[in-house]
Amino acid sequence: MADFKLKEAMSIAANNGYKFTFIDLFAGLGGFHLAMRKLGGKCVFASELKPDLQELYKKNFGMECSGDITKIDIHKEIPKYFDILCAGFPCQPFSKSGKQQGFDDDQGRGNLFWVIMEILKVKKPEFILLENVQNLETHDGGNTWAIIKKKLETMYEVNWDVLSPHEFEIPQHRKRIYIVGRLLAMGGLKHFEFPSHRGNKECSIKKIIDENEKNYMHLRPQTRIQLKAWEHFLKLLKKNKIKIPSFPIWTMEWGATYDYEGKPPCQQSVNDFKGKKGEFGNIIVGDNIDDILPQLPIYSQVTITDPNEQFPDWKKNFIKWNREFYLDNKTVLDEWLPEIQQEGFENSHQKFEWNCGKDKNVKPTLKDKIIQFRPSGIRVKLPTYSPALVLTTTQIPIFPWIKTPEGEIGRYMTKKEAAKLQCMEELENVPNTISEAFKAFGNAVNVEVVRRIAENLLEIK
């Protein structure tokens, strides 16, 4: 039965001038579609929840894109025969940046894997190609992945690996788990191997930058003030021959003396804070814990109810190292500190992460680095590859060295540059606003990574 079904499916594709057929679930901007089309594939069904992305899919690929996959009649609406099921099923339930609820996700997204399984049971395509966040493997102590793998292996031989575009000289660091499978009834995966991606690959973010691009988001005046303050910080360190710390800089910890190594502050008594200093070395005052806690750095205000629980070791270390760094360089740092205590500097703007290594040839400046404003602080990295695209405009990477056509120095990454990072530059239609575009690109699969995997998968026939 399986042999007959494969022959019929392949003949349908061949008779229409295509090498194979596929369906594109949770399609988004159509990353799987672009990759499969490059290999000669024909999309015979697509599904995407968001109406705006459905419309873009139709414009870009000339086909209707169905809506909510949970409301699709699998038997009637999905074609009887197709060769590959592609799905970048929703990652929020498993992502470190989300609640990590997995199959218990309160919006039902974690249960969408079962929809995939139902389609596989009914349609029995020869191949599967799935994508998700790297954290899928370790979520819930590995139990989530164990369940997914066990279910898939009732029908398919399965293989998986974690790959990132930067491992293929595409300047974006974006680790994702890719899962492939082939029907056991068709002989399984045989000699399939994932494309080679080990070893150090050189990347340069400049290969995707268009300095003449006029459609870009300007840096706000306040952002420029914040960057200027941290640039001055680096100059002071260089002038005074102080090494840039490799740990995250938490300036609000400078001068603080409250206790943090035993009981967390929320479990301490009022007397424990007598004569102690809180955020930026300010004397702690107050007659109750509710008044005292807001005087501490925000990360030390957390509520911990377990009487045996302490701060995690990494947090203790960051507090300890920041206090030591301040005491060792107090005179220099006190000269600069008022610059980031002024109005407009939120907590995350008062934290700084230098992710440029210890190479002596790396200049202590922001002007030739990639800058990203994150909740954990202002992150600085070499102009090798971009951090993974994220869903919020506040975290779009900044290129401080670019001189814009209007004469400004420095701007955010553009929509076109984000498209290049996802190898989607051939898309003619993307969301109109930068905010919506980056959300869509942040959720998309990388076209070139998928293409290389699919190419190896199809070669095992």
DSSP 87-134: E----TTT-TTS---GGG-TTSGGGHHHHHHHHHHHH--SEEEEEEEG
Q: 43, 86, 91, 423: which one is catalytic?
A: 91
- Residue 350 CA to residue 251 CA, distance in Å, equals 6
Is 335 within 8 Å of 316 (Cβ atoms)? Answer: no
Residue 412 bridge partners (DSSP) = 398
- Residue 445 CA to residue 443 CA, distance in Å, equals 7
Contacts of 141 (CB under 8 A, 6+ apart): none
Q: What are phi and psi of 333, to 5 degrees?
A: -70, -35
- Residue 19 CA to residue 13 CA, distance in Å, equals 6
Q: At what angle do helices 31-38 and 447-458 cross, to 10 degrees?
A: 50
What's the Cα-to-Cα distance from 285 to each of 251, 253, 258, 270, 461, rounded to whole Å? 21, 17, 12, 9, 73
Q: Which two tokens stand for residue 98?
A: 């989300």
Tokens 């300007």 found at: 218
What's the Cα-to-Cα distance from 44 to each of 13, 21, 25, 340, rounded to whole Å? 10, 6, 11, 56
Mapped onto helix, strand or coil, the DSSP state of residue 296 is coil
Is 39 within 8 Å of 161 (Cβ atoms)? Answer: no
Mapped onto helix, strand or coil, the DSSP state of residue 85 is strand
> Letter for the amino acid at 4?
F
SS3 of 383-414? CCCECCCCCCHHHCCEEEEEECCCCCEEEECC
Q: Which two tokens stand for residue 182?
A: 């082939």
Give the closest residue to 344 by CA, choosing from 235, 232, 221: 221
Reply yes or no on whether 91 is catalytic. Answer: yes
Positions marked catalytic:
91
